[in-house]
Structure 1
């Protein structure tokens, strides 16, 4: 009879890695990390341009803000290589603590950077450096959180356990967007641009302290401890990954493209477009995003359950096909400017984001052996970010300016096709043993 990883560990370790503690530690870290990341995404859509890039053109400001947004996605694979190396060599726990510190410190310091009017060109330089730090930290976060959950999961429940790191982003986004929503309601535009936008960045310091407390209480995962006992660790995980596991790395990255494109076009681009072009009040659009992200959170456990029941590939294929169709809804729904139709568009896109995102918490770790799993899962995840998210708001902004929302919708559909190819070419991983 097979035993769960939790039951196979010594009693003291099993106690530290109880089901509730593992779930909470994997969830809270990604919630905080993505809170930090989404705080910047929202600020980029609303205020980063005029504060740090005071060009005469609003379009130039928006494009400059979205360039700084993309910097972190370039940094994320670097973070995956860096933290993945130590995660596969030293262990999951200590690496997760370090990634959380890097991300939290970078986010908090952004809240203290003066604007262009105060220190000139040094302001955007400091902003870019700290944004790069955000990307480094997040690059090391997700892979470790997914491994913490899946390497402790009982048989047949890996998709469900892997869902909790995937649920963190919904909560992180809801917290960051909700805070911006509250500030939009309580502050004037002048107050918000002067100092109000900095508050969510400063709140990150408190959240990181909570996350560190939780993660310092957990023990190493059973799968990694078993790899140590069998002396299976490799000296340079990234070299082994590139030489022996390049194919699943590429396919995993392609599979992630649809998740990122759906999310950042439905949030960062749509928020910027809705406020600046459709002239929907900022607080109204933020409120609609808060409602829509609830549907993303609801889709996450449903999709994870289905992935355990039917397999990773069938669930992903169904979600990706729906995402391809959803691109055609962008112009008539978002472009209408009607609040109910815009809300419907946001709900559709974020629900599909949850459907396609949830299985990744189990799928990407299942593609790799234990000795390169941290590196492989993280690199695939964050390479997908470069392809699907780093340039997504920028490309969408350019396409909207030159061809309208129909072109932006076509871009979303094309990104989904890229993911469909990746998923069709990979193996089903539901019955893979994480040894």
Structure 2
């Protein structure tokens, strides 16, 4: 495993981190616009889909990036045949998982959104399902191809893919996914009255592609195992993200808090990006320095937060660097949103203080959870490359959305209304 100084690590992480951040800012601006489209206004349950579908980058793309990064670092992609077997098998597996998660996310949106209120419309449910499945499949395919290019390019240029792959996986993932979701949802909504069968055909088409991907994935040993055993973290993460989506749906429905929309992808995306880097690095470290089921001496015993940040080890340094990136990174992204005149919120000192406190608390908690979770999974014999990142990014979505909602409620309660929150 290559040794890195904190400066070299920060420089490698910085550019992908900024790219990922600007991608989430763009996604927030898109969400701020499309919330006024007919489909989003009349079928508000689409908002429940947003964190679950944006979370696919954590469930699938970042997990793929972490697996392939470890494969590069331990020499499993030196052989061209082995390299392409890994890539093709993992891409096919990812398409299967994306389709299933997209379908289940739509079911969760129906259950969380309509059933508790006693309202249900079959045409809207089918539209949700079609939009979710189509978005998940198309976005996952596009991002998977980009991800493979990043991993292969990192290997050729001598850059540690653990530092750059996961944030680049998210750099335009949110924007691509949200744009596809908005376009498909609005298109199907327009067809709802004149051609009601279109939604069903779209859903059936993408579901029919799933068996083909299963056959391709099952031909490769590396992905065959995950085809049967890799569902628990992906589905659990989708449920966690959907709860965050329910919070977003209820918050957006409050006209006093509508300004939250543009900031949600930003705080969720940045938290997920940073914790994914840390999880990927810890996992690679464990693959290098210990056998599955055995953990290093410094990680034994009861967990405590100081263990994550205090020390001079490689994982301690990376946790420190990642936490230090939170405030300057968010300041850049907040100012970008302000310059673009988006978000319906003036950058008052009280708003920035509350927002940055929420962001710091989110990332601090996620880095601590990552340290504990990755070591626990390794100790239990599970590969954290495949199991940890879905949980961590989903928790990032839930924590980010909840803390942001609390922040906006707090601002409203204390009378920070001159900042036109929810204008």
Same fold (TM over 0.5): no
Q: TM-score, normalised by structure 2?
A: 0.36
